[in-house]
């Protein structure tokens, strides 16, 4: 389950308001982990 901030970052990323790199930075995770996270979102839909 995503916390509120993670959900807001996800929505901003999906709306192309922020870049993948910026999202990773905001969440304090490596870019590779952010890529894996976004790949899992695609599988969930």
Mean pLDDT, the chain cut into blocks of 10 residues (45 residues total): 90 96 98 95 75
DSSP 13-34: HHTTSS-HHHHHHHHT--HHHH
Cβ-Cβ contacts under 8 Å for 43 (sequence gap 6 or more): none
Nearest 5°: the CA angle 13, 15, 21 is: 25
CA distance 35 to 38: 5
pLDDT of residue 7: 95
CA distance 45 to 37: 13
């Amino acid at each position: 389950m995503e916390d509120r901030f993670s959900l807001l970052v996800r929505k901003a990323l999906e709306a192309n308001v922020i870049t993948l790199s910026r999202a990773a930075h905001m969440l304090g995770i490596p870019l590779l982990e952010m890529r894996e996270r976004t790949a899992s979102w695609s599988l969930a839909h």
